[in-house]
Amino acid sequence: MPEGPSKTAEYVATFRAVESARPEGERLFSDPYAASFLDGKLRLGAALARNGMGQRLVCRYIDRNWPGSRPSAVIRTRLIDDAVTAAIEGGAEQLAILGAGYDTRGLRLPAAREIPVFELDQPPTQERKKQRLRARDGDLPSNVTYVPFDLLDEGVGAPLERAGFRTGLKSVYIWEGVLSYLTPEAVDQTLAWITASGAPGSRLVYTYVDVALLKQGGEDEPPWSSQVAKVGEPFRYGLDPAKMDAFLGDRGLKPVWDQSTLEAIAQHAVPGGRNAPGFYRVAEAEVLPDR
Ligand SMILES: C[S@@+](CC[C@H](N)C(=O)[O-])C[C@H]1O[C@@H](n2cnc3c(N)ncnc32)[C@H](O)[C@@H]1O
């Protein structure tokens, strides 16, 4: 567990800042807050990416050092933006973002701005996020409640409910780029809370690594594993996409869709996307009535 703010969260914010710098009509989304969370080289890279030549150089540099991670983060951001918007338009009355990092959907998605949003993360990352937002806008968004909490601790529900998250409402939950850092117990305990707290039809949008990646190890290990381990946030949990229906069914959920970022990129124009990995997946599940 890192002592300070999450570095992987800052990397994801970098990829979002770089994508947001592409011209309107070409970029897959705009996150005008992302650059505010960056320091040092990452901040410089995002600034350089604001013109065409700089954008190409910065993407080439990132993609050489982190093959496939930038286009994967870009496509997952877009898929999750769309899924969350659809869930809210479909009646979800509150949004919980678990391991929120520098996710700014509570501010930037018009549908999410209209409902209560609860962001849960470890205190150092959440404090840094709040400082940067205050420095940028003078204030924090009024619809977002920040809940400092570690998902590895017992009882994720209690702190969220104390903060005002209402059980029994149709809700939408985001769990993006987080599962890989948890234990099987923490994953099960969080899913149990989701199915207990959300009304039937509530949606969970999540990402995960195919467990086959974790088993590879050694020389075959894809570059991401060593990169995230280097910043103190090693991958330690994965799921098998072929067994996802049973995994979810046992936990009171049913799959809605599930695809690798590589498959998703084939449907959208993401520069550099051909290098995206097949092992990184984005998915959505629904809370069942009889759970
Ligand atoms: C790769 S970042 C993803 C951040 C954000 N969801 C996004 O996609 O932009 C991983 C996030 O998970 C959070 N995280 C990791 N382990 C956690 C835990 N045990 N409890 C709460 N948050 C955790 C980190 O602090 C970090 O913000």
**Separation of alpha carbons 171 and 239, rounded Å:** 24
Question: Hey, whose CA ends up nearest to atom 4 of ligand 1?
Answer: 101
Question: What is the distance in A from the centroid of ligand 1 to the CA of 174?
Answer: 11
Tokens standing for residue 50: 């604001």
Query: Look-up: residue for tokens 């990132």?
Result: 62
User: Best of 178, 231, 236 to mutate for ligand 1, by most ligand atoms within 8 A of CB?
Assistant: 178
pLDDT tens for each residue of the chain, 291 residues long: 557 999 999 999 999 999 999 999 999 999 999 999 999 999 999 999 999 999 999 999 999 988 889 999 999 999 999 999 999 999 999 999 999 999 999 999 999 999 999 999 999 999 999 999 999 999 999 999 999 999 998 889 999 999 999 999 999 999 999 999 999 999 999 999 999 999 999 999 999 999 887 766 555 566 667 777 777 777 789 999 999 999 999 999 999 999 999 999 988 888 888 878 888 999 999 999 977
Domain ranges, ordered by start, for the chain: 67-287
Atom index in ligand 1 nearest the CA of residue 150 equals 20
Enter the tokens of residue 13.
């914010």
For a pLDDT cut of 70, what percent of the chain falls above it? 96
What is d(CA 253, CA 248) in angstroms, rounded to the nearest whole number?
5
- What is the predicted pLDDT for the residue at 223? 61
Q: What CATH topology corresponds to 67-287? A: Rossmann fold (3.40.50)
Which pLDDT does position 35 carry in this prediction? Answer: 98
Note the pTM of the prediction, 2 decimals. Answer: 0.95
In angstroms, what is the span from residue 37 Cα to ligand 1's centroid? 14
- The reported pLDDT for the residue numbered 215 is 67
pLDDT computed for residue 216 by the predictor: 62
Q: How big, in percent rounded to 5, are the helix, strand and coil portions of the chain? A: 50, 15, 35
Residues with CB under 6 A from ligand 1: 6, 8-9, 12, 99-103, 121-122, 125, 150-152, 176-178, 181
CA atoms of 54 and 35, how far apart (whole Å): 15
* DSSP at 181: G
pLDDT computed for residue 193 by the predictor:
96
Q: Which residues pair with 174 in a beta bridge?
A: 97, 205
Tell me how far apart the alpha carbons of residues 272 and 143 are, in angstroms, rounded to a whole number.
Answer: 36
d(CA 233, CA 124): 14
Based on its alpha-carbon atoms, the radius of gyration of the chain, rounded to whole angstroms, reads: 18
Q: What span, in angstroms and rounded, lies between the C-alpha atoms of 46 and 58?
A: 8
